[in-house]
Each structure stands twice: as C-alpha cells, then as structure tokens.
C-alpha cells in the first residue's frame, strides 16, 4: 500500500503536524522503523526513541517537539492504529476451491467461499458466504459456520458445533472433541458419552492449538466477541460470556461460567 501522511490523517480524523505529502508505504516501530514507514506512540516509555527514529510519520495523542517525523494527532492512538493496521494488512486472495479438497455432495457452500487443498467438508455442513477454509482443515458432518469466517490450517471442528459470523479460528484449534467425562466403577475409570455440542457466537477469535470440548449433555457456549489466545483448554459445559478475553495457556475446568467483559 502506498499513501501519504495527509491521506492517513484524513482517514483517521487526526490533525497532521508535518508535510501532508510525506510518502508512506509501510509500518514500523519507533526503534526499528525505516524511511517511508509509519508507527505509533501509545506508551510514554517509548518517547525516548522519538528523536532518533527513522519513521516517516507517527500516530500520537499530542505533539512532541523532539519528533523529527510527521505527527498525526488522534484522540485514541490504539484505536487509530487498529484501523490503520487493517489498511496495511495483505488482502485475501480471490476465492477458490481447490480440486484437492474433499467436499461431501450434501454440504452447503455459500457464495465466494475458499477451500484449500486437503480440507474436508463433511455431510450436511453449512459454510456461510465469504468463508475461507485453509488447507488440511476438517469440518465434520452437520457443522454450521457463519459468513466471512476464517478457518486456519489443521483446524478440527467436530459434530454438533455451530459457529457464528466472522469467526477467526487459528491453526490447529480443535472444537467439539469429547469432554473429559469418566465415571469410576468397579475399580476402574469408564468413559461417559459426551452428548452435547459447542455453540460459538459472532466475532469470536480462537487461538492456535486451543481446544474447546463439547458439552456432556447441554452445549459448551462461547459468547459473541470472545477472544481466546493460543493453547487454551476449555472444558465441557463451560459458558463464556460476551466479549470476554482469555490469555494463552489458561485452563478452564468443566462447567465454569464467565460473565460478560471478563479479562
């Protein structure tokens, strides 16, 4: 992407201190950025790098006299950076379905769906418009995935799973495997059939290698806007409320309930 400081300031609703024609073609940090790149300053600790930074422009919440680059002053630096980062993110390739994908004839595929080589789409699965299924992903029979969702390579989504719109499920996550249900009888542990499923809301992100067990009888529930980091274990019948965030390597025991907006 090639643009300039003036255009970026206008898109973000910011105030520019500097030359609006300053060319911008990429992003970088205050410490390591190069000419032609834009970065941000959201923490006063990093102000020390401003005078020597090679960045062409920086997003800030106030003007800094020692800054040698163009400054774009915005009300909320992190929010502005989120929008700007989306602009610089590489676009998805045009939708295509690989001839090496295995798609059951009864599966329902929406418009503009992409499916990579080696991916498996089971019987009766319903894949919404604009979804992207990476190579070697496995979507089991009857699974529903909402529109504009991204399913990473090696992801396993098992039976009785419903996923809302705009999900982002990263590589090797496993959703809907049997919960850890066992009963001690006559001196040994015997498995108890796990008969529930998994229900996931809209705008959910599930990190790489995270696992979500299906419910024992009722469903495991992940609310709207939930963000799960990498390597998280979610036990059976957990209920995570809307817009909760859980950091990496957490283990959530079965039947635990989180409210909304927990961190």
Residues 172-209: tens digit of each pLDDT: 999 999 999 999 999 999 999 999 999 999 999 999 99
Categorize the per-residue pLDDT at 1 as very low, low, confident or very high, splitting at 50, 70 and 90: confident
Q: Which segments within 161-238 are labelled E, that is strand?
A: 161-163, 168-169, 174-177, 182-185, 188-191, 198-200, 205-206, 211-213, 220-222, 227-228, 233-234
How far apart, in Å, do the first and last CA atoms of the chain sit? Answer: 35
Quick check: is 236 catalytic? yes
pLDDT digits (tens, 9 = 90+) for 111-166: 999 999 999 999 999 999 999 999 999 999 999 999 999 999 999 999 999 999 99
CB atoms within 10 A of CB 62: 8
**What confidence score (pLDDT) does residue 170 get?**
99
Catalytic residue among 17, 25, 236, 243: 236
For the structural domain made of 3-88, what CATH number should be given? 3.40.1390.10
Tokens of 133: 């299924």
Would strands 182-185 and 188-191 be described as parallel, antiparallel, or unpaired?
antiparallel
Residue pair 90/109 in contact by the 8 Å Cβ criterion? no
Mean pLDDT of the chain, nearest integer: 98
Tokens of 39: 């970065």
- Measuring CA to CA, which residue among 196, 203, 245 is closest to residue 221? 196
**What confidence score (pLDDT) does residue 32 get?**
97
Domain boundaries, the chain: 3-88, 102-258
Tokens of 96: 């295509």
* Whether domain 102-258 has CATH 2.160.10.10: yes
What global pTM score does this model have?
A: 0.94
**How much of the chain exceeds pLDDT 90, in percent?**
99
What lies within 8 Å, CB to CB, of 241 at 6+ separation is 223, 226, 257, 258, 259, 260, 261, 262
């Amino acid at each position: 992407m090639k643009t300039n400081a003036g255009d970026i300031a206008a898109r973000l609703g910011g105030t520019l201190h500097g030359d609006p024609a300053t060319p911008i073609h990429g992003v970088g940090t205050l410490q390591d950025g190069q000419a032609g790149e834009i970065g941000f300053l959201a923490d006063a600790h990093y102000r020390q790098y401003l005078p020597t930074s090679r960045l062409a422009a920086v997003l800030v919440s106030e003007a800094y006299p020692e800054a040698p680059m163009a400054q774009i002053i915005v009300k909320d630096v992190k929010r502005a950076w989120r929008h700007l980062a989306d602009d610089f993110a590489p676009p998805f390739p045009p939708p295509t379905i690989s001839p090496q994908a295995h798609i059951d004839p009864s599966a329902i595929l929406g418009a503009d769906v992409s499916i990579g080589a080696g991916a498996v789409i089971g019987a009766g699965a319903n894949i919404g418009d604009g979804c992207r299924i990476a190579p070697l992903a496995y979507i089991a029979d009857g699974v529903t995935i909402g529109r504009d969702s991204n399913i990473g390579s090696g992801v396993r989504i098992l039976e009785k799973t419903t996923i809302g719109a705009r999900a982002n499920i990263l590589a090797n996550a496993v959703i809907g495997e049997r919960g850890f249900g066992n009963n001690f009888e006559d001196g040994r542990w015997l498995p108890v059939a796990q008969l529930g499923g998994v229900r996931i809301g809209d705008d959910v992100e599930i990190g790489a290698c995270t696992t979500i067990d299906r419910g024992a009888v009722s469903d495991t529930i992940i609310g709207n806007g939930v963000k799960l980091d990498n390597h998280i274990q979610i036990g059976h019948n957990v209920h995570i409320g809307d817009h909760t965030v859980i950091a990496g390597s957490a283990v959530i025991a079965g039947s635990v309930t989180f409210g909304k907006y927990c961190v």
